[in-house]
Amino acid sequence: MSENSKKSILVVGATGFLGTEICRQLISTGKTVIALVRNSSDPAKLSFLQQLGVETREGDLKDTASIRKAIEGVQTIISTASSTLSRQEGDSIDSVDYNGQVNLIRTAKGSGVNQFIFISFCPMSQQFPLQTAKRKVESELKESKMNYTILQAGFFMEVWLSPAVGFDFPNSKATIYGEGNNKINWISLQDVAAIAVASVDNDAFRNSIFQLGGPEALSPLEAVGIFEKYSGNLFELQHVPVAALLDQKISATDSLSESFAALMLIYAAGDDIDMSETRKVYPFRLTSVTDYVQRVVIKHEV
């Protein structure tokens, strides 16, 4: 086995927004990167990864044999995999976010993987299936005796301030959960990726949990104000009352719907994250909501 093979980094969830960005940043630092992909993965996404210089290996978190083969020679695993945004047949919070991740951890431990970096999210006040899965996976990883880093991210601005969840800035419209006055530490997935990359072979991140938020806490309405400033357009707002979100959570018929309703309730309540410990080991500049708005508004206008 070559020295490069021993130092390979496997990215799980590589075709997702965050996973692709992690691959891009790893390649830019000269790392040997392998992406775990499925035979049903989007060909365009596979092509993009391969053009970056990423090796792709087929596997599925629900298939132990394929995982064992995919992690052969791998030193570090970075897992962002989740069923929440890009589900395929057979995917669920239970099969992917819990059992799939546990399967990956146990197989990695048995295969001699040295380091496991898990992208999770911050502990939240609501109880819901996705949070339960994340906390159980974190416990499994801590008990595995592998070197671990757990990154608990807050609300991604690229998701929650985008049309994907009703923040339709290209058309100057936004769905606001609750009144929109409570502050959130929006974080850029580019910064989460950078912190994950910085965690590789870094003793300062070893066997630690870090909460990740942005450089400042802003309410959804303050975020709307920034979009209005840089786009020059007033937004049409639609508020979803907290009572309606509670009803949605209670009446949910599946774990994913219940989890999204809970996340919207947490959004409405606010999610201010203490970054003091993380900044001690990750001192460089974080992306602000203004940075994000300037980037996407200019891109949209072009």
Whether the CB-CB separation of 118 and 51 falls below 8 Å is answered with: no
Q: Give residue-wise pLDDT tens across range 133-152.
A: 999 999 999 999 999 999 99
pLDDT digits (tens, 9 = 90+) for 248-262: 999 999 999 999 999
Whether 109 has a pLDDT exceeding 50, the answer reads: yes
Say what the pLDDT of residue 139 is: 98
pTM for this one?
0.94
Q: What does the pLDDT look like over 50-86, one tens digit per residue?
A: 999 999 999 999 999 999 999 999 999 999 999 887 6
pLDDT of 191 > 70? The answer is yes
Q: Taking the domains of the chain in order of start, what are their residue ranges?
A: 3-156+185-214+272-284
H or E element, residue 210: strand 208-212
Residue 148: what pLDDT?
97
Q: How many CB atoms lie within 10 A of CB 86?
A: 15
SS3 content of the chain, % helix, strand, coil (to 5): 50, 20, 35
DSSP for 51-118 reads HHT-EEEE--TT-HHHHHHHTTTEEEEEE---SSSS--TT--IIIIIIHHHHHHHHHHHHTT--EEEE
Q: State whether CATH 3.40.50.720 applies to domain 3-156+185-214+272-284.
A: yes
Question: For position 87, what pLDDT does the model report?
Answer: 66
